[in-house]
Amino acid sequence: MSRVVVAGGAGFLGSHLCDRLVERGDTVVCLDDLSTGTRENVAHLQGHDRFSLVVTDVSEKVELEGASKVDAVCNLASPASPSAYAARPFDTLAVGSEGTRRLLELARAHGARFLMASTSEVYGDPEVHPQVESYRGNVDPTGPRSVYDEAKRFAEALTMAMHRTHGVNVGIARIFNTYGPRLSPGDGRVVSNFIVQALRGEPLTVYGDGSQTRSLCFVDDEIAGLLALLDSSIVGPVNIGNPDERSMLDLAHFVLDVTGSPSDIAFEPLPTDDPTRRCPDITLARKELGWEPKIDLREGLERTIDYFAHTMRGQ
Ligand code: UDP
């Protein structure tokens, strides 16, 4: 049983991580400024004696009440959807830099394990396919996505500096596109957009010609991978994602098939710097963590569609 600080714990991924940690007997201190995370995401944990939510911006302050020892610090604090980080460019840069530094200092002070939630975005628009961890990426440092990509690259550099200079026990996960319950219906990501549109009978908005690819991991698998890394002493970086690669046009048709929706497809302009393809090589995760995803796209989408159908009925 450990005491774990989860920064960004009221977000999509963070709240699922809090769930698994509490379930297995850990004590969780969730830090979140509720900018993209929500109280609803952790409402079911409120009142649990091993869970507390502290509303705070980790870019400004990381202070814990009491002197209890912290065993692990997980840094999932950041806007993650392209529209969310485009709307909050300076907050995104601040949380990747100053927020990460404060959380690393906390881990250092407690001799705690530090898990950095990095991203496949560090590979930019990749020239190496599928992406292996040794690939250094093709990122536009001034493009519209740079506030996120460079913040995460900087966070990785900070994490490694803390490891090399002060011996902090760190692990870096590179998270690929993840979907599942608690995705925000309005945050613009492809799976939530397509499901909401299909359930409303509205056209599914495919950007560009839809030939760009992503590889989608169901949230339960993603969290199992993050926990495996947290519980190990692997530094990484380690890709945590599902290598089942699909074009966005195929995904749109698949969502129509699984929902049984009569919606059409509407093609819209491709955002600037939208990566043309993305797929993780997970050889390292399989070998070092004994982890691989188990839930296929149909099952994951069915579970996510159930969630959205239920939430939308309540609106
Ligand atoms: N996309 C799309 N329609 C949408 C939302 C996204 O075709 O309504 C595309 C987007 O252009 C990108 C992919 O789906 O190629 C994944 O987008 P998302 O914003 O989910 O995540 P990203 O991987 O780009 O960070």
267 CB less than 6 Å from ligand 1?
no
Q: What are phi and psi of 14, to 5 degrees?
A: -60, -40
Report the pLDDT averaged over residues 293-299: 98
The domain limits of the chain are 3-179+216-243+283-289, 190-213+245-276+296-313
pLDDT digits (tens, 9 = 90+) for 162-221: 999 999 999 999 999 999 999 999 889 999 999 999 999 999 999 999 999 999 999 999
By most ligand atoms within 8 Å of CB, the mutation choice from 214, 217, 272 for ligand 1 is 214
Would you state the CATH architecture of domain 190-213+245-276+296-313?
Alpha-Beta Complex (3.90)
pLDDT > 70: what percent of the chain? 99
Q: Please tell me the residue having the least CA distance from ligand 1 atom 19.
A: 189
CA distances from 250 to 196, 205, 290 (A): 17, 13, 30
pLDDT digits (tens, 9 = 90+) for 207-257: 999 999 999 999 999 999 999 999 999 999 999 999 999 999 999 999 999
By most ligand atoms within 8 Å of CB, the mutation choice from 118, 123, 248 for ligand 1 is 248
25: left (phi over 0), alpha (psi -120 to 50) or beta: left
205 CB less than 6 Å from ligand 1?
yes
248 CB less than 6 Å from ligand 1?
yes
Q: Residue 65 pLDDT more than 90?
A: no
DSSP letters spanning 7-22: ETTTSHHHHHHHHHHH
Q: pTM of the prediction? A: 0.97
- 148 labelled catalytic: yes
Report the pLDDT averaged over residues 92-96: 98
**CA–CA separation, 212 vs 277, rounded Å?**
5
206 CB less than 6 Å from ligand 1?
yes
pLDDT digits (tens, 9 = 90+) for 10-50: 999 999 999 999 999 999 999 999 999 999 999 999 999 99
Q: Which atom of ligand 1 is the closest one to the Cα of 83?
A: 19
Which residues make Cβ contacts (< 8 Å) with residue 200, sequence separation at least 6? 312
Q: How confident is the model at residue 315 (pLDDT cuts 50, 70, 90)?
A: low
What topology is assigned to 3-179+216-243+283-289 in CATH? Rossmann fold (3.40.50)
Would 3-179+216-243+283-289 and 190-213+245-276+296-313 be classified into the same CATH topology? no
Report the pLDDT averaged over residues 73-81: 97
Q: Quick one: how far is CA 261 from the chain centroid?
A: 28
